[in-house]
């Protein structure tokens, strides 16, 4: 791991994104054919491999060590690609449990009236709307609309959305 990070720094890399390792039967087969020892990956599978379905591996222990090594080399470490994207575009985001991300940037101002206008436009009936810096809470009258509504509000406000 250290060699990869050192080469990255020497090559001018300033930041890295640490995602999760997901594999399929085919990915493991291809790695084996290249001479890679996949026993450790197989031990870390969260469930048995089944065809083309991707299976995540347990990597928290390795990620922790990797993060420490990267930060010691002066690299910025992002936990997800979307976090790196928010940083690169100078945007604030609190849409998911990883966030808030890019907290050096002030979030766009959102008032409850803005969310109410959106809900009215979409024809959504609600009791009340509460807006904080990181979260939007909407008390819905009709729970049937909540499947897509959470996503719409998140994308419009860059805040975690809770529909009650």
Identify whether the C-beta of residue 23 lies closer than 8 Å to the C-beta of residue 54: yes
pLDDT at residue number 75 = 93
Provide the residue-wise pLDDT of the chain in tens; the chain has 164 residues: 678 889 999 999 999 998 778 899 999 999 999 999 999 899 999 999 988 999 989 888 888 888 899 999 999 998 888 888 888 888 888 887 777 887 777 878 888 999 999 999 988 889 999 998 888 999 998 876 667 888 888 888 888 888 88
**Residue 56, beta-bridge partner list:** 22
| Residue listed under structure tokens 């009215």 | 120
CA 140 vs CA 85, 145, 155: distances in Å: 32, 9, 18
pLDDT at residue number 157 = 86
**Half-sphere exposure (CA, 13 Å, Cβ side) for 162?**
11
Identify whether the C-beta of residue 110 lies closer than 8 Å to the C-beta of residue 129: no
Reported as type and span, the H/E element at residue 115 is helix 112-122
pLDDT at residue number 42 = 92
Identify whether the C-beta of residue 159 lies closer than 8 Å to the C-beta of residue 134: yes
pLDDT at residue number 1 = 66
pTM, rounded to two decimals:
0.64
Tokens of 134: 């990181």
Show me where the domains of the chain are located. 2-88, 112-163
**Residue 32, beta-bridge partner list:** none
């Amino acid at each position: 791991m250290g060699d990869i990070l050192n080469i990255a720094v020497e090559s001018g890399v300033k930041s890295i994104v640490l995602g999760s390792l997901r594999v399929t039967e085919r990915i493991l087969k291809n790695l084996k054919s290249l001479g890679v020892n996949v026993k450790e990956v197989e031990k870390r599978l969260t469930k048995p491999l089944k065809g083309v379905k991707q299976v995540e591996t347990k990597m928290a222990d390795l990620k922790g060590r990797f993060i420490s090594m990267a930060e010691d080399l002066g690299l910025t470490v992002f936990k997800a690609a979307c976090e790196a994207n928010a940083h690169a575009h100078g945007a604030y985001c609190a849409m998911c449990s990883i966030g808030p991300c890019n907290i050096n940037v002030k979030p766009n101002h959102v008032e409850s009236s803005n969310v109410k206008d959106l809900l009215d436009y979409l024809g959504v009936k609600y009791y009340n709307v509460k807006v904080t810096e990181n979260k939007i809470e909407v008390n819905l009258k009709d729970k049937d609309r909540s499947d897509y509504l959470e996503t719409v509000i998140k994308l419009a406000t860059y805040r975690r959305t809770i529909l009650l």
